[in-house]
Amino acid sequence: MDVGHVPWWRDAVVYQVYPRSFLDTNGDGIGDLPGIERRLDHLSWLGIDTVWISPFYRSPMADFGYDVSDYCDVDPLFGTLADADHLIAAAHQRGIRVLIDWVPNHTSDRHPWFIESRSSRSSAKRDWYHWRDGRGGAPPNNWRAAFGGPAWTLDDTTGLWFLHLFLAQQPDLNWSNPEVVDAMHQVLRFWLDRGIDGFRIDVVHCIGKDPVFPDQPAAMGEIDRVGIQNELVTHELIRGFRRLVDGYPGERTTVGEVNLGDLSSIGSFYGHGDELHLVFNFLPLYAPWTRAAWQDMIERVEREFPPGAWPTWVLSNHDVRRVRTRLGSEHAARAAAVISTTQRGTPFVYQGDELALEDAVVPERRRVDPGGRDGCRAPIPWEPDRSHGWPSAPWLPWPPHADTRNAASQRANPRSMLHLYRDLLAARRASPALRRGMVRLLDAPGDVLAYERVSGEDRRLVLVNFGEQAAHVPLAEHWQVEVASASQPDAGSLPPHAAALLRPSA
Ligand code: GLC
Ligand code: CA
């Protein structure tokens, strides 16, 4: 590697596509791969250079694609392998890189591996999953599954229990078996050979298990669990993924979903530059909208990540309430967009956040997700008319105000969230300080967060007012507003819940 060479994924802005809800093209109400291709221009126009596409593998859809029954094929709902190849090529033609979602912790219970594993105690793939004796008719230990109930299900065929940290239709693979490692490495190669640029790796912190399967202490929370996450063997397995991915030309990359509560544990998944290239930082998903909380997060990322670890910033995804819904106002969502795109680290934008979408209100009879996450997965409205650019009614209700909060209407309105995002991404692309510079927190009054980004001669200043009142921020004369989330701050006044990106005046 050249000295000073910066890998592309440090400069990237990643856009998450949740394919069921992006755009349908064949009228079955479910978004598909040709739908993604049809709207790639939206992403180019916005200034996105990388997409991560949530799973489109063959799947019984118990967890909407996160239950995979064939890692090397496309589910017919989403299209064909040829559609995937076509989409990858079309994205590359526009200079957009493609990350796909890889789900190593568990397969579907319909995957041939599991069907064989459960068939008998002596099956050749028996040890590919975790089978245990119960404790007098009760599960082997007290672990709970993510969507409720015990993490073990008794299988009648052989009278033993199998482990599933998520649904019973998602049995956990046994990664201590080298055959599992080999089979999964082949999956990685299958897609790398097709030209994808990397993987988002689903719940990668959970793949290694303590073979003792210890009970959880009663007082432990949902997130931090013993025997499951941050096991030494997990880091070893990740180093294996890293070597494989780094063996390909073109700086292929990995970004891991590491759902842990503290930044130093999250940071440990970078290893010594030999584990994940990027790790999701989910703290902003849970942070209250206060200066103290956001300043603390920025400081701690700088302090607690290992040297050389490149951070990420995530405001929403397909598992949590959208940022616009969480923060309660479009003003705050706009200010949050300024923060996440001006941090040191790669920003991830969840589809529809660029339109300031809110979660859909989903009536009970239309709820489909076992984890209660339908609201944030509502379809993207592309046009103002009633069908919003979809050929028929989509699988979930529209998000609120789709007649104005849609791509076409916002593109026509320079004051829209869509234009704000576009301006922010353009400013980021043009400024080495924003892309790569160090971050320095500055003194500021009350509810105002202020920080500077600096790279050589290039500097940017960001001011964020978290308060309910306009804030007076004495601006030194040599700064001018480059992008503002609300009407331009005049004479050093920042409206409530507003943020501004400033550059030195010419
Ligand atoms: C991850 C995914 C989530 C899925 C779970 C099980 O957290 O983001 O959607 O339900 O893993 O695969
Ligand atoms: Ca479709």
Report whether residue 63 contacts ligand 1, using a CB cutoff of 6 Å: yes
| pLDDT digit string, tens, across residues 50-91 | 999 999 999 999 999 999 999 999 999 999 999 999 999 999
- Give the catalytic positions in this structure: 202, 257
Supply the Cα-derived Rg of the chain in whole angstroms: 23
Please, which pLDDT band fits residue 1 given cuts at 50, 70 and 90?
very low
Per mean pLDDT, which range of 215-219, 353-357, 482-486 is the poorest? 215-219
Query: Which DSSP helix (H) or strand (E) runs through 314?
Result: strand 312-314
Which of 103-112, 226-235, 318-327, 335-344 shows the lowest mean pLDDT across its residues?
226-235
Q: Average of pLDDT values for 13-33? A: 98
| Closest atom of ligand 1 to CA, residue 67 | 12
CA of 391 to the centre of ligand 2 (A): 9
Per-residue pLDDT reduced to its tens digit, 364-385:
999 999 999 999 999 999 999 9
Mean pLDDT within 161-174: 97
DSSP state of 499: E
The reply to whether ligand 1 has any atom less than 6 angstroms from the CB of 155 is no
Sign of CA dihedral 103, 108, 111, 116: positive
Q: Which of 1-10, 210-219, 391-400, 484-493 has the lowest mean pLDDT?
A: 484-493
Edge-to-edge strands of the sheet including 498-504?
438-442, 448-455, 458-465, 498-504, 479-484
**Alpha-carbon dihedral sign for residues 126, 132, 136, 139:** negative
**Per-residue confidence at 427, pLDDT binned at 50, 70, 90?**
very high
User: How large is the angle between the packed helices 417-430 and 330-341, nearest 10 degrees?
Assistant: 10
Report CA(235)–ligand 1 centroid distance (Å): 20
Q: For the chain, give the percent of residues with pLDDT over 90.
A: 92
For residue range 130-163, list pLDDT tens digits in order.
Answer: 999 999 999 999 999 999 999 999 999 999 999 9
228 pLDDT tier (thresholds 50, 70, 90): confident
Please tell me the distance from the alpha carbon of residue 302 to that of residue 404, in angstroms, as a whole number.
Answer: 39
Give every CB contact of residue 428 below 8 A, 6+ residues apart in sequence: 13, 341, 342, 434, 435
Residue 2 has pLDDT above 60, yes or no: no
Mean pLDDT of 249-256: 98
Beta bridge partners of 498: 465
401 backbone φψ class: left, alpha, beta (φ>0; ψ -120 to 50): left
